[in-house]
């Protein structure tokens, strides 16, 4: 099995170290075009290409973009002949097996003798560069707003006999203010009165059918989901204790 | 009381309760006579073995003898019959209960929330059903009766919401305690929207209940002429203390109202609204909740008074479980023994002596299934 190029690892380690110290990351300074043409830089931080006939403030068409990308790749491969035609395979291997940072020094020494040179693309640590986890407070605010909206929809249905499909003007909150005494944390449990194991949704549907005198909701019904969300949200912090009576 | 089907256990406990009830009503002479007939030797020592129950020494039980009794029905939350007959069935059951009491209570208190949304048809239905109560009915108003037309229809049917009367040495006050500061005008609400908002517990839109400055002044005036030694029983829909603000289990000016009641030696407040067994004492003031006929409410997540022994949580599969009606026995010393007639369960009595002793005597049985 071909090992990932060790120089990757060295670069990745230094990249992470820079970021950890809070220092500015290396920036790719693009050469200016004398004619005011658009200059496109490559992610290796070195390679760039000037696009004739396109001004710096103009957008590229998809065709032009493809041409530029191919040109950049050709230049990069010319400068990194050792990668050969197998570079795609190597990248796949590197992604599949991210070497632990502790090994980086030993492998970098090997790299000197292995003759693998010239790959200078900074490749951040797989863990740090993972999309999931690299979120800003704005993302979190969006998630919270979405969750709250879902819970609020459940709140609305919980308090609305018509939305529940009830026929006798009874809504859930009449017996369960703030979803009190719905104890979602105790499900699944053997529901003695039903003679079988029930989930919270079974009890929601039991209430809809009986005191509320409506039709039970399908498992996938957005109303049922929203009510589950509302009821569960009311018990935040209560330990899960399924089967509790 | 009026259940068609009764288990062996229920019948046993009913017999037992009626026996003890009967015993506690007997004079000493009457008791000795009865004891003599039923168990000669045991009776000579003041002991009796009734129906095979454990020996009970009633010779020392005399202070609990009731002077008189009244019953209550509360929080019936009626919709029109054609929309929802569930709550209609429940109030009819309660009426059967109180009509079945023997001896009959001196009167029946209706504890408020006769209607669910204050509609004329709902109030009319309730008024018609209550006509079949044999004993005189004393009406109290609840927020569900009031906030559609601000009490217009209710007052037409039942008169002033605050009034007082004297009965067998006790001064009774029925207090309108569910006023709310105007939250609807600024929001441009219709009367129906206002009513619907007040009808919900868990919304922060409505104001908190209060007796209000006028109500408090009325109470002061009413009590000015009453001797401080006269036992006082106050009927109020809201609890007249601060239990849980978020659900309006609450009276905003409770402290001021309590200050008006505090100078009296013996004060008992009987309140509705909370739909649960609820016991509290502040100074000389004893508080008892009333059961609803319509549905029970869970205990609030905080603020539960220390003296409250919770009732078992209700079985949702049984319409009547956790609901009921009840009775108050007023003893010669002006204390109130509060009976919670929980349908489909054993009744629970919270005695005046339990409150008077701050919980050290006559503690009611603990719940097996407390709130989650």
Share of chain A above pLDDT 70, in %: 71
Of A177, A210, A244, the CB nearest to B247: A177
Residue tagged 């026996």 (tokens): B19
Q: What is the DSSP code (8-state) at residue B306?
A: T
**Which residues from B are below 8 Å from A193, CB to CB?**
315-317
- Per the omega criterion (within 30 degrees of 0), is the bond before A188 cis? yes
Q: Are A129 and A25 in contact (CB under 8 A)?
A: no
Which carries the bigger pLDDT value, residue B145 or residue B7?
B145
Q: Which residue of B has its CA nearest to A174?
A: B200
| pLDDT value for B60 | 42
| pLDDT value for A122 | 56
Report the helix count and the strand count for chain A, using DSSP H and E: 8, 4
Q: Distance, in angstroms, between A210 CA and closest chain B CA?
A: 9
The torsion of the CA quartet A213, A219, A221, A224, rounded to 10 degrees, works out to 60
Helix (H) or strand (E) holding A178: none
Phi then psi for residue A8, to 5 deg, are: -50, -45
Of B301, B316, B317, the CB nearest to A180: B301
**Looking at this predicted complex, what is its ipTM?**
0.81
Is B50's Cβ below 8 Å from some Cβ in A? no
**Which residues from A are below 8 Å from B246, CB to CB?**
178
User: What pairing do the DSSP bridges indicate for beta strands B267-271 and B285-289?
Assistant: parallel
Query: DSSP string of A10-61?
Result: HHHHHHHHHHHHTPPPP---PPPPTT-EEEEE-TTSS-EEEEEEEETTSPPP
| pLDDT value for B277 | 97
Whole-number Å distance between alpha carbons of B68 and B103: 10
- Structure tokens of B241? 């203390």
* Mean pLDDT of chain A, nearest integer: 81
- Nearest-10 crossing angle of helices A104-114, A6-21: 140
Q: Are B251 and B234 in contact (CB under 8 A)?
A: no
Least confident of A123-132, B18-27, B32-41: B32-41
- For A158-170, the pLDDT digits (tens) are 999 999 999 999 9
- For B313-334, the pLDDT digits (tens) are 999 999 999 999 999 999 999 9
- Nearest-10 crossing angle of helices B254-261, B212-224: 0
pLDDT band at B99 (very low <50, low <70, confident <90, very high): very high
- For B206-218, the pLDDT digits (tens) are 999 999 999 999 9
Report if pTM > 0.95: no
| pLDDT value for A8 | 43
| pLDDT value for B370 | 82
Q: Distance, in angstroms, between B246 CA and closest chain A CA?
A: 9
Whole-number Å distance between alpha carbons of A245 and A216: 24
Which carries the bigger pLDDT value, residue A211 or residue B51?
A211
User: What pairing do the DSSP bridges indicate for beta strands B324-331 and B336-342?
Assistant: antiparallel
- Interchain proximity B372–A181, CB inside 8 Å: yes
Which carries the bigger pLDDT value, residue B345 or residue A127?
B345
Substitution target in B195, B202, B296 with the highest count of A β-carbons within 10 Å is B202
Task: Give CA angle at B325 (B319, B327), nearest 5°.
Answer: 160
Q: Are B236 and B245 in contact (CB under 8 A)?
A: no
Of A177, A183, A211, the CB nearest to B201: A177
pLDDT band at B367 (very low <50, low <70, confident <90, very high): confident
Q: Distance, in angstroms, between B83 CA and closest chain A CA?
A: 6
Is B246's Cβ below 8 Å from some Cβ in A? yes
pLDDT band at A118 (very low <50, low <70, confident <90, very high): low
Is B317's Cβ below 8 Å from some Cβ in A? yes
- For A136-148, the pLDDT digits (tens) are 889 899 999 999 9
Of B200, B295, B298, the CB nearest to A180: B298
Average pLDDT over residues A170-191: 96
Residue B21 vs residues B32, B64, B69, B252: alpha-carbon distances, Å:
16, 10, 12, 38
pLDDT band at A76 (very low <50, low <70, confident <90, very high): confident
Q: Distance, in angstroms, between A6 CA and closest chain B CA?
A: 59
Which carries the bigger pLDDT value, residue A8 or residue B162?
B162
pLDDT band at A79 (very low <50, low <70, confident <90, very high): confident
Helix (H, G, I), strand (E, B) or coil at B106: coil
- For B224-265, the pLDDT digits (tens) are 999 999 999 999 999 999 999 999 999 999 999 999 999 999
- Interchain proximity A173–B201, CB inside 8 Å: yes
Which carries the bigger pLDDT value, residue B26 or residue B66?
B66
Of A169, A193, A244, the CB nearest to B317: A193
Q: Is A102 exposed, middle or buried (0-12, 13-18, 19+ CB in 10 A)?
A: exposed
Q: Which residue of B has its CA nearest to A156?
A: B203
pLDDT band at B158 (very low <50, low <70, confident <90, very high): very high
């Amino acid at each position: 099995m071909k090992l990932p190029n060790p120089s990757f690892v060295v670069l990745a380690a230094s990249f992470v170290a820079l970021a950890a110290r809070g220092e500015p990351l290396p920036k790719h300074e693009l050469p200016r075009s004398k004619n005011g043409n658009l200059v496109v830089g490559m992610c290796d931080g070195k390679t760039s290409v000037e696009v004739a006939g396109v001004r710096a403030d103009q957008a590229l068409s998809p065709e032009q973009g493809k041409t530029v990308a191919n040109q950049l790749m050709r230049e990069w491969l010319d400068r990194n002949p050792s990668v050969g035609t197998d570079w795609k395979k190597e990248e796949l291997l590197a992604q599949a097996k991210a070497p632990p940072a502790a090994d980086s020094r030993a492998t970098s020494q090997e790299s000197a003798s292995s003759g693998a040179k010239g790959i200078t693309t900074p490749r951040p640590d797989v863990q740090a560069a993972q999309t999931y986890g690299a979120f800003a407070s704005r993302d979190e605010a969006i998630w919270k707003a979405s969750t709250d909206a879902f819970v609020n929809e459940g709140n609305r249905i919980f308090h609305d006999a018509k939305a529940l499909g009830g026929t006798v003007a009874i809504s859930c909150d009449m017996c369960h203010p703030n979803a009190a005494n719905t104890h979602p944390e105790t499900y699944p449990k053997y529901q003695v009165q039903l003679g079988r194991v029930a989930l919270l949704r079974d009890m929601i549907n039991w209430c809809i059918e009986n005191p509320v005198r409506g039709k039970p909701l399908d498992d996938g019904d957005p109303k049922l989901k929203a009510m589950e969300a509302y009821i569960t949200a009311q018990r935040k912090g209560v330990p899960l204790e399924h089967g509790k009576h | 009381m009026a259940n068609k089907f009764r288990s062996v256990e229920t019948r046993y406990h009913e017999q037992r309760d009626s026996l003890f009830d009967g015993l506690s009503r007997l004079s000493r002479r009457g008791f000795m006579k009865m004891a003599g007939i039923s168990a000669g030797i045991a009776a000579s020592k003041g002991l009796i073995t009734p129906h095979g129950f454990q020996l009970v020494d009633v010779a020392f039980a005399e202070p609990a003898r009731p002077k008189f009794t009244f019953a209550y029905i509360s929080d019936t939350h009626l919709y029109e019959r054609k929309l929802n007959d569930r709550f209609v069935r429940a109030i009819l059951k309660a009426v059967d209960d109180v009509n079945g009491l023997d001896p009959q209570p001196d009167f029946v208190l209706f504890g408020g929330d006769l209607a669910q949304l204050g509609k004329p048809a709902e109030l009319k239905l309730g008024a018609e059903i209550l006509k079949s109560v044999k004993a005189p009915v004393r009406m109290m108003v609840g927020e569900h009766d009031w906030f559609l037309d601000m009490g217009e229809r209710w007052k037409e049917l039942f008169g002033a919401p605050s009034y007082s009367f004297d009965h067998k040495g006790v001064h009774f006050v029925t207090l309108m305690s569910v006023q709310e500061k105007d939250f609807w005008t600024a929001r441009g609400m219709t009367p129906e929207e206002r009513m619907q908002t007040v009808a919900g517990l868990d919304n922060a839109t409505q104001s908190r209940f209060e007796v209000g400055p006028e109500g408090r002044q009325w109470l002061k005036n009413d009590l000015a002429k009453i001797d401080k030694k006269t036992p006082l029983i106050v009927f109020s829909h809201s609890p007249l203390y601060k239990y849980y603000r978020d659900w309006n289990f609450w009276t905003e000016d409770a402290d001021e109202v309590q200050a008006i009641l505090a100078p009296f030696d013996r004060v008992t407040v009987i309140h509705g609204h909370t739909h649960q067994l609820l016991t509290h004492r502040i100074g000389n003031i004893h508080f008892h909740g009333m059961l609803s006929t319509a549905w029970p409410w869970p205990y609030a997540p905080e603020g539960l008074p220390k003296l409250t022994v919770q009732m078992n949580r209700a079985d949702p599969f049984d319409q009547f479980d956790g609901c009921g009606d009840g009775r108050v026995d007023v003893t010669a010393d002006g204390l109130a023994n509060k009976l919670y007639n929980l349908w489909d369960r054993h009744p629970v009595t919270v005695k005046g002596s339990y409150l008077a002793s701050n919980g050290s005597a006559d503690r009611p049985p603990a719940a097996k299934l407390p709130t989650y």
